[in-house]
Amino acid sequence: MVFGILGAILVLLAAAGFIGWRVLGRHFVNQYHREACNPTDLSPHLGSSSPAEYHVSDVPWIATREWYCAANSLAMVAAQHGVRASTARCSFLMGFTYGASAVPGSIAVHFFGEPEAGLAAAAPYMGLKRRCYVTDDAALYLAALRSHLSGGDAVRVGLDVAVLYNLEAPSPHSEVLVGYDELGFFYYETVCLPEAPCQPSQLPPGQKGLWLSSQTVLDAVLGQAKMFSYPWRYSLTVFDEGPQETDLAPVWARNGNQLVGGARYGPPQGADAIEGLATVFDRRGTKVDVAEVLPTLEAAAYTRRNNAAYLREAFPGRGDIERAAQLFTGAADHYEAALESVDDGIGDEAEAEEVAAALQEAAAAEREVGELFLSLGRL
């Protein structure tokens, strides 16, 4: 998966044809990550007083079947700070399921937002402040994890989930660390994939969690750093209490922009990305590799249907938001129709045209939701 603007930057870096452009591309990659993470370098004096073992006991375990890893991570951290926030609310505040991005090098569309920027944007609405720490020193990183955990902080880490479960393809993921022993770390898996030893559920605080060796943690975190060309090797995120934000105008505006999309450089975003996928079916017909788009359409259907349910629950009696919920439901219906058509391959050109038409309708619905959100952001 490649996230939004970051995907465009990575395309620039990969396409650079000579050293000047490679240097320029690396500069923009570094700038993007530093703005999204706003990192602090880890102190070399961490960890000397950490006990040999520790387990944080006030974090619930939230795991879904759907790929809501970053939103589940935020919901768990918020709960530790006494804030009840559903996965759906976290997704809304993060913009995690409000937008789309074409995936460079593939015909697929990614229906999830960039998590680092989303965590920073959402935290103030829960009375929290996100802090991101980075280092290239493996020993210092492990010491920092233990120091924060023994201090009572649940620690959110971004990592390559393929390292955890021996998957074929690298894939970015978000986990919550809740403890450690002398040899490794305990974590709450956020998405119960078939390969993961967990079941979708919401469990009360105090669960032991799953265990990873220290080396596996290092390898997985470094794997994501390499995947996205981070200007550091290891990173962690913790949350402190902070000022409470209540004005949702920036959230509506941010989510609206992500849905409407458009990209001057790099891969198409938002509704433009979905229209691009429709064009692929229009032009390639039966030659489309449906294996590339099946996960795309599955995610599109369940994220948009869940978005609609959240809007109705969180903003009852609002005609404008009910309209947005109806549009999301309609988009989900179109994605499901397209998914049903491609599930056993594209049989003929007429079926490919039906898929393209369904995707065009979905894109139109998402663009209208985005424009509606933008109007709410201007109120």
**DSSP letters along 283-331, please?**
HHGGG--HHHHHHHHHHHHHHHHHHHHHHHHHSTT-HHHHHHHHHHHHH
pLDDT-derived band at 370 (thresholds 50, 70, 90) equals very high
The sign of the CA dihedral 27, 30, 35, 41 is negative
Low-confidence winner among 12-26, 103-117, 154-168, 177-191 (lowest mean pLDDT): 12-26
Rounded-to-integer distance, Cα 271 and Cα 294, Å: 18
pLDDT at residue 18 in the model: 40
What percentage of the chain has pLDDT greater than the value 70? 90
Rounded-to-integer distance, Cα 250 and Cα 334, Å: 29
Rounded-to-integer distance, Cα 157 and Cα 165, Å: 16
The backbone region for 4, taken as left when phi is positive above 0, alpha when psi lies in -120 to 50, beta otherwise, is left
Rounded to the nearest integer, the mean pLDDT of the chain is 90
Rounded-to-integer distance, Cα 268 and Cα 100, Å: 9
pLDDT tens digits for range 280-309? 999 998 898 888 899 999 999 999 999 999
pLDDT-derived band at 241 (thresholds 50, 70, 90) equals very high
Q: Is residue 266 scored above 80 in pLDDT?
A: no
Residue position matching structure tokens 């074929």:
168
Average pLDDT over residues 343-353: 88
Low-confidence winner among 32-36, 216-220, 271-275 (lowest mean pLDDT): 32-36
pLDDT at residue 34 in the model: 78
